[in-house]
Amino acid sequence: MGRKFFVGGNWKCNGTTESVKKLVEVLNQGEVPSEDIVEVVVAPPFVFLPLIKSLLRSDFAVAAQNAWVKKGGAFTGEISAEQLVNLGIPWVILGHSERRALLNESNEFVGAKVAYALEQGLKVIPCVGETLEQREAGKTMDVITDQLKAIADKVEHWENVVLAYEPVWAIGTGKVATPDQAQEVHVDIRKWIAANVSEDVASQVRIIYGGSVNGGNANELAHQPDVDGFLVGGASLKPEFIDIIKAAE
Ligand SMILES: O=C(COP(=O)(O)O)NO
């Protein structure tokens, strides 16, 4: 398989200039495995992207938490993929469940965003995942399949894609998926990609888990064969993010 472990930190809408500087100081001092073992990306709010890029250790990369669906222009309040490229920001998270829910980002809209960001040369972390209601109704893979199809319909090249499976019921709740639950969905995602994209992409693409990951549960989750890393929310704002990165060892 040989998929390099990937740990993303999604800072969401958090931080002040002072607090993010302090957080970067902690991250810069953290002892973590080398870059050939783990890839680390942190995603600050837009307003801190240049600052964090200038302060962050060179073995960590920076991501935006969103990007507009087409070339910039008369789209008040939006940030374009071109502007992220211009700032030297290599990664972008797209289709996070909070944006899908709060801003009604449809599967098709997310798929178009992923395709456009890749076309502009960004590396992309598309997010998929089901709500508790959908899981309890046995619809988990129906939902995720629809989300994946909307992406696969528009994406030709997958080498710059890291897929994040983030069950909505685990995000911010402290109710982390069990290792078996995470592994089961990751396997089903990989099987879907094998059948609908290619076996090669399915074996290469990294599928990372997000939803209440912390320093206490990261190791067991990391040892699941199809869990290739994490997209961490709350715990990425704390020193324990370093412990989560160490789960790559
Ligand atoms: O939304 C998340 C996960 O958030 P938590 O780790 O706080 O559950 N990652 O993008």
What is the reported pTM? Answer: 0.98
Segments of the chain assigned E as strands: 5-10, 38-43, 60-64, 91-94, 123-128, 162-165, 206-209, 229-232
The catalytic position among 82, 98, 105, 166 is 166
Is there a catalytic annotation at residue 166?
yes
The CA 234 to ligand 1 mean position distance, Å, reads 6
Look at residues 51, 49, 46 and name the one whose alpha carbon lies nearest to residue 78.
46
- DSSP for 155-192, written as a single string: ----TTBEEEE--GGGTTTS-PPPHHHHHHHHHHHHHH
Mean pLDDT per 10-residue segment, the chain (249 residues)? 92 98 98 97 98 98 98 98 98 98 98 98 98 98 98 97 98 96 98 98 98 98 98 98 96
Mean pLDDT of the chain: 97
User: Partners of 38 in the beta sheet?
Assistant: 5
Is there a catalytic annotation at residue 96?
yes
The residue whose two tokens read 């869990």 is 227
pLDDT for residue 68: 98
pLDDT for residue 72: 97
- List Cα–Cα distances, 92 to 9, 162, 189, 232, 247, in angstroms: 12, 10, 21, 14, 23
pLDDT for residue 175: 92
Does ipTM surpass 0.90 in this model? yes
pLDDT for residue 1: 57
CB of residue 213 inside a 6 A radius of ligand 1: yes
Q: What is the pLDDT of residues 208-234, one digit of tens each?
A: 999 999 999 999 999 999 999 999 999
pLDDT for residue 23: 98
Q: What is the pLDDT of residues 69-114, one digit of tens each?
A: 999 999 999 999 999 999 999 999 999 999 999 999 999 999 999 9
